[in-house]
Amino acid sequence: MTETVTVPRAEYDRLRAMEEDIEARVAAGEEELVPSEIADRLIDGASPLRVWREYRGLSQSRLVRVSGVNRVQIVEIEGDRNAGSVRTLRKLADALGVAPDDIVTG
């Protein structure tokens, strides 16, 4: 059996416009789609830095070399024992190709 949902035309149009906008940003390389497993880990409260680092296929040692951030700082941020300075988070985010907000524990 097929389920249906009825929504006002204005809401449908708004949702379609949002979808088209996202598709255009992905096609232009402005947005990145990630697998649901990654989103699930982030939603479940895993360390965002660890999730993105592992998703990018980087060891902590490799992230140290790419970002220039001390390994102890990375371990402490991933372990939620230290939030990291804005400068440190920016270096890590740049190395991972994400926005600094994406690796901040909320």
pLDDT tens, 72-100?
A: 999 999 998 888 889 999 999 999 999 89
The yes-or-no verdict on residue 6 having pLDDT over 80 is: yes
Of all residues in the chain, the percent with pLDDT exceeding 70 is 99
Reported confidence tier of residue 2, pLDDT bands at 50, 70, 90: confident
Cα(68)–Cα(50) distance, integer angstroms:
16
Reported confidence tier of residue 106, pLDDT bands at 50, 70, 90: low
Between vectors from CA 49 to CA 23 and to CA 55, what angle results, nearest 5°?
55
Listed in sequence order, the residues at least 6 apart from 41 whose beta carbon sits closer than 8 Å to its beta carbon are 51
Which residue is listed with tokens 């965002």?
48
Q: Which pTM does this prediction carry? A: 0.74
Contact 96, 88 (CB under 8 A): no
